[in-house]
Each structure stands twice: as structure tokens, then as C-alpha cells.
Chains A and B, each alone.
Chain A
Amino acid sequence: EPEVTQTPSHQVTQMGQEVILRCVPISNHLYFYWYRQILGQKVEFLVSFYNNEISEKSEIFDDQFSVERPDGSNFTLKIRSTKLEDSAMYFCASTGYWGINEQYFGPGTRLTVT
């Protein structure tokens, strides 16, 4: 069964460093998303991406964040200068249908900023 994959599973970085989180969405899906979940809190929407551009973003997704689809399979989230409060699980999701918003999530990347 097709699934969303994410790498790395765990990333440790120092405050102020740049990190890139990678995702391979389900093949032939058209919509891609990033969410985050701070330990013990709700899953929160960051950004959605369609047709090579951002379609929606939350107030969390500020200038420190960017997304890119560098080739036909990968979808990346870059955090330019990490802060302690960026420590969280980051989930990628994808969906293939315009009508039904059925999002399939990856296993996540645990980002720890020290």
C-alpha cells in the first residue's frame, strides 16, 4: 500500500542552524502539507502546497520557514534559523483528490533544537 515517507526520523540541531526535513508523498498525489505537533499538544497546520506554490499557510509559518518540491518526488520543509520552540514532531501529508480532503500522514520527523 502506498505511503508517505519522511527522513530523517530524528534530527538534532543547535539553535540558529538551518534544517531541511524531507518527505516523499504518495505517488500521483497532488496536494502536500506540513503539520507539527509539539509534545503533548495538538497537531497544528503549517502549510499546504499545490501546483508548485503555497496555497495556504498558518501564522506559525513565518519567514523562517519555506517549502519546496525540488523534483517530482520530494517535498521539503526548511527552517532557516532554528529556535528552541521549533522542537516538535513534523508531519508531512498528501492527498490526491480535489473534492474529498482525505490526508495521509507520514511517520514524522522528531526535531530537537538544543
Chain B
Amino acid sequence: TQLLEQSPQFLSIQEGENLTVYCNSSSVFSSLQWYRQEPGEGPVLLVTVVTGGEVKKLKRLTFQFGDARKDSSLHITAAQPGDTGLYLCAASSGSARQLTFGSGTQLTVLP
């Protein structure tokens, strides 16, 4: 069973600061997704990465997939209060399509 470890678990920063959250495993993934989840709602897909070393940008969010496809990071530049939320990574390996989720990073951006 693959495990996804996310760090930090909680992060509270001031508006305008930069931050990075991490998603790590000992397993190799075929693809990895980042989601954002608000309380009482379903995960909303932000990005999918599939190639080792891949970097994807979504406005102020930069996602990187590790060269060995075992880890990923999410970097937010100039965080805003609207970025507040739970950020989840999820991955699948081999031919399996079931997603394994991490526990998430709860981000709070203070105005």
C-alpha cells in the first residue's frame, strides 16, 4: 500500500508571503494530482503531473513532479486570503486507477 506524506500539516502565513508544501512517498507514481478542498465540499482538481521533472504553473501556483516520480511540491507566490484551504495530493501507480490521498496541508493566509 502506497502512503503519501504531506508536509507541513498546518501552515499559517501573512498575505503576500511565498510558501511551499510537499507530498512525498517511497513509491513511484504513474500520475499525481493536487486538489483543493473546502469544508463540506468535494476535492477540486488543480493540476495533474505525469512526467518526472515536470513543472506546471497555474497563475501564482507552481507544481513540480520529482525526477523519480516519488514526490511533488506546490509553491504559491504572493499568497492571498483566497488561497486559504486544504491542499491535497493524490496519486495512482502502475495500471491501477484508484487514487491514494495524502492527509493534506491546511493553509491559512491572514490579511
Contacts and interface: CB of A to CB of B under 8 A. Distances in A.
A96 interface: no
Interface residues of B, number: 24
A31 interface: yes
Query: For the complex, would chain A's binding face be called helix, strand, loop or mixed by DSSP majority?
Result: strand
B33 A106 contact: no
**Residue with the greatest number of chain B CB neighbours at <10 A, chosen from A42, A45, A101, A108:** A101
Interface string A40-82: 0011110010000001101000000000000000000000000
| Tier of interface size on chain A | 20 to 34
A59 B90 CA distance: 19
Interface of B: 30-31, 33, 35, 40-45, 48, 50, 88, 90, 92, 96-104
Interface of A: 4, 31, 33, 35, 42-45, 48, 55-56, 58, 89, 91, 95, 100-108, 110
